Amino acid sequence: MLVTLKELLDQAKIEKKAVGAFNGTTLESIRGIIQAAEELNCPVILQHAQSHDDMIDLEEIGPVMLYYAKRAKVPVALHLDHGSSFERCVQALRLGFTSVMYDASSKSFEENVEETAEIVKIAHAVGASVEAELGHIFTSEVVQGEGTSSDSTDDYEDLNDIYTDPRAAKEFVEKTGVDCLAVAFGTTHGVYLTEPKLDLPRVARISDAANVPLVMHGGSGVSDADYRIAIENGICKVNYYTYMNTAGGKASKEYWKDEETPLFYDSMSLAATEAIKEDVKRAIQVFQKL
Ligand SMILES: [Zn+2]
């Protein structure tokens, strides 16, 4: 059943749990995510990141995501991840998404406030929720032929410059009316190249000041112990993608390894779906304290 992000996260905040947010870029991942949530009887967030448009465009995958979200036996919020323009957010809302993230975190505080408030106004008018981001969340990338590259704590002299400031978060939430806020405290999008060093007390300070559900991006590779503290401190939504996706990749590789197996692509698709489902289940169990 389709619900808004706000409904899910306000409840999660009360229960001190987090709802997993997973990117559905393929039919295998969408089915794996929904099946995992149904088997555990837990709510889930199905999302599409603008950066995945190269793989599949929102116009193409959005209606598929909506189909699975609507017929799911558990509450599902359909969310646009990292929308970078007003037009992109409106496009998602028109497709039936119940939530959008508007990411102007690379702009000045004032511009971020002004533009996010505009998105909040239009999203709330159609009953949808808004996530915004304040601070700098690291990103690691696979660079073709050169392994991976990432920015990290070593690249910055003063982490206070890039991590979310609790007082700024309070002001941002008050001025924009956002329903939840993605915060920077040391997590990385993609693969962690070194052990993550998270500023978890900062999460509690931001939560106390801003008083909205907080969002963790870059969930793959964080230890279960760190997850538990982060969730206790106010994280109510965890974006988790990389490990789920590589679980599908590993299962596909395994499938091809056995030369006796008839090489049917649809059988491999089912093997990948199953592996994605199991990885998502493991993540949901941690986030929901099962
Ligand atoms: Zn993100």
* Contact present, 207 and 170 (Cβ < 8 Å): no
d(CA 8, CA 236): 9
* Angle value at C-alpha 284, between 246 and 244, nearest 5 degrees: 5
Strand 44-49 versus strand 19-23 pairing type = parallel
- Is 161 known to be catalytic? no
Mean pLDDT of 193-207: 91
Of 201, 275, 210, 238, the residue nearest 17 (C-alpha): 238
Q: How far is the CA of 290 from the centre of ligand 1 (A)?
A: 25
**Of 137, 283, 143, the residue nearest 196 (C-alpha):** 137
Percent of the chain, pLDDT > 90? 80
Asked whether residue 259 carries a pLDDT value surpassing 80, the answer given is no
**pTM score of the predicted model:** 0.94
For residues 82-99, give the mean pLDDT.
97
| Statement: residue 256 has pLDDT above 90 | no
Distance CA 46, CA 239 (A): 10
Positions of E strands within the chain:
2-3, 19-23, 44-49, 76-83, 99-102, 129-134, 138-143, 147-150, 180-183, 188-189, 214-216, 235-240
Query: How remote is the CA of residue 70 from the centroid of ligand 1, in Å?
Result: 24
Centre of ligand 1 to C-alpha 259, Å, is 39
Write the pLDDT tens digit of every residue in 105-130: 999 999 999 999 999 999 999 999 99
pLDDT for residue 146: 55
Rounded distance from Cα 273 to ligand 1 centre (Å): 23
Q: For the chain, what is the mean pLDDT? A: 93
Structural contact between residues 104 and 116, judged by C-beta atoms closer than 8 angstroms? yes
Token pair, residue 24, equals: 């559905």
Residue 192: pLDDT band with limits 50, 70, 90: confident
Query: How many angstroms separate the CA atoms of 218 and 188, rounded?
Result: 5
- DSSP letter at 44? E
- 170: number of Cβ within 10 Å: 16
Give the CA dihedral 49, 83, 228, 196, nearest 10 degrees: 80
- Please give the distance of CA 135 from its chain centroid, rounded to a whole number: 16
Q: Which of 37-51, 138-152, 254-268 has the highest mean pLDDT?
A: 37-51
Query: What pLDDT, on a 0 to 100 scale, did the predictor assign at position 207?
Result: 98
CA of 230 to the centre of ligand 1 (A): 16
Is pLDDT above 70 for 266? yes
Give CA–CA dist 136/162, Å, rounded.
Answer: 5
Residue with tokens 């994605």: 276
φ/ψ of 81, rounded to 5, equals: -95, 130
CA of 280 to the centre of ligand 1 (A): 17
pLDDT tens readout for residues 201-222? 999 999 999 999 999 998 888 9
| Dihedral sign computed on CA atoms, order 216, 212, 90, 133 | negative
Which of the following is catalytic: 53, 81, 151, 165? 81
244 C-alpha to ligand 1 centroid (Å):
15
| Residue 144's pLDDT band (cuts 50, 70, 90) | very low
pLDDT (average), residues 150-156: 68
Q: How far is Cα 68 from Cα 11, in angstroms, rounded to an integer?
A: 22
Q: Ligand 1 centre from 238 Cα, in Å?
A: 10
Distances in Å between the Cα of 125 and the Cα atoms of 4, 79, 129, 156 are 13, 16, 10, 40
- Among left, alpha and beta (phi > 0; psi -120 to 50; other), residue 137 is beta
pLDDT digit string, tens, across residues 20-42: 999 999 999 999 999 999 999 99
Closest to 135 measured CA to CA, from 106, 155, 167, 157: 106
